[in-house]
Structure 1
Amino acid sequence: KAFGEYIGKDVVIENIAWDGLIPALQTGKADMVMSSMTITDERKEKVDFSEPYANALLALLTNKDSGITSIEDMNVEGRKIAVKTGSTGYFYAQKNLPNAEIIALADESACVTEVAQGKADGFIYDQLTIYRNWQANLDTTGAVFIPFQEADQWGIAVQKGNTELLDELNEFIEKYTAEGGFDELTDKYLADEKKAFEELGFKWFFDMD
């Protein structure tokens, strides 16, 4: 909404399945994707990205009875790891957990349900999402926050070659950051999560310094 105000246009938010986000850009159904999307070389072949606006590390939601205390505990024959199709966690599991059975699901909530019900031993996703789902399911889940990969960077994706929109986004991100926009969002919607990150010794994901 703030970006729409910046460019003087109404922003219509469409709820599209994760694996349909990039196709939506390619076909013109959507103008941009702002959905915790990690900037990767593979995705850059299909879309253009704004400058990064957040850093994110992967974490692991575990079934409370699984006994898992590290990502290495997942790379064992017989372990089942839930991942959101097309996410960074999905690609991480494919590359680094060859001994585990990968259960690829369409959305985050389905992955959480698999873990909470004991149908999967763990779910790999970004730290903030894992923290929230852990807190919402304390009776059935645990969490592993020990960093096990380099920080990802999130950007806003646009259709390949749409330099006009990309320039507007980059100007907006720079201005919004300088004016404390992300700090205001944090204070309004994510204050508890930021406090928890500080207690866990994690860098807040809007801190780009």
Structure 2
Amino acid sequence: MFHLKRTLCIFLVFLVSCFSSIVNADQSTMDRISNTGEFRIAVQTQGPPVSFIDKNGKRTGLAIEMARTFADEMGVKLVIKDYDWKGLIPALISGKVDMIAADMTPTPKRHMKMLFTDPAFFSEVVVFAKKDKNITDWKSLNSSDYSIAAAQASSYATQARKKLPDAKLKEYSGATPQVVQSVLSDRVDAGVGDRAALSGFLKQNPELEIVGSLHKEPLSFAVRPDSVHLLLALNNYLRLIRYDGRHEKMLDYWWNSTNWQKDHD
């Protein structure tokens, strides 16, 4: 009986220790933000209208302005750190930032490493090409005779592999700007990207056109698995701005139109 009680006590101490560790981990990111007065986010700067540096040298875009409003309402400073697409997740996991503020799809594979917020906005993955290519149906690109471009390690590349498995896929670390340039310079026959992110490029380059839609998907912000308090706060913030109309206003300006260009290009 003594050994049974002793074993039970040890087990209870172990459970309490584990629970305390979990609680401390859950609180650590928000505590750090509160104590330092800084909310650090990882962004892919050259990706208008989600995040970019405008004509005045200001970092802005839909994701950045959402994060900026969140930081303002917490009463802390927003610290923006720039990475290429493939550097976003390592920056978060290593603790260099508190959140990824990008147009990232919350896939099951990514969810193994991170926690995602409720959808912040939605994207439409489209295929685009030069008009003189005379591509009228994106399905015709599913051949080894064609090459297509997409951002490296992106959901756009995933959709390209899934919907156009026979085409030659080329992935670029420079994300949308480099993908667009590869299409314009005829290094590939077509590109795959987000409709909203491409809107500005299509306006600047009238020789380009969208030839079809591959997929629609939610886009979310991401935090580390130990940042549950921050995750709950972000989801609460997203609900608040939906209720008071700010979310719709941001989307209409940044995502559903090119109104932002006259102010920032």
Report TM bin, short chain: 0.7 to 0.9
Partner of residue 142 from structure 2, selected from 68, 75, 79: 75
For residues 68-123 of structure 1, what are the alpha-carbon distances to aligned partners after superposition, in whole Å with 9 as ceiling and x for unaligned? 12220211122110010111111112222222111100021111000011111111
CA–CA distance in structure 1, aligned partners of residues 254 and 160 of structure 2 = 30
**TM-score, length-scaled by structure 1:** 0.85
Query: Contact 1:6 / 1:172 at 8 angstroms: preserved in 2?
Result: no
TM-score, normalised with respect to structure 2: 0.68
Contact 1:59 1:127 in 2 (8 A): yes
Number of residues paired by the alignment?
191
The residue type equivalent to 2:163 in the other structure is N
Unaligned runs of 5+ in 1: 195-209
Equivalent residue, structure 1, for 2:198: 130
Asked if 1:161 is matched to 2:226, the reply is yes
| Aligned match for 1:30, one of 94, 97, 100 | 97
Q: Does the 8 Å contact 1:21/1:33 carry over to 2?
A: yes
Higher helix share: 2
User: Partner residue of 1:148?
Assistant: 214
Higher relative contact order by CA 8 Å / sep ≥ 6: 1 or 2? 1
Matches within 5 A, 1:1-209: 1-107=68-174, 108-139=176-207, 141-144=208-211, 146-149=212-215, 151-189=216-254, 192-193=257-258
Partner-residue secondary structure (3-state), 2:118: coil
Superposed CA RMSD in Å reads: 1.7
CA drift of 1:189 comes to 4.1
Q: In percent, how many aligned pairs have the same letter?
A: 26
Partner SS for 1:148 = strand
Residues 52/188 of structure 1: CA separation in 2 closer, same or farther (3 Å cut): closer
Q: Which runs of 4+ in 1 moved over 3 A?
A: 186-194
Say which is worse superposed, 36-45 or 123-132, in terms of deviation: 123-132
Unaligned residue ranges in structure 2 (runs of 5+): 1-67, 260-265
Whichever structure has more strand as a proportion of its residues is 2
Query: What is the match of residue 205 of structure 1?
Result: none
Q: Which protein shows a greater Rg? A: 2
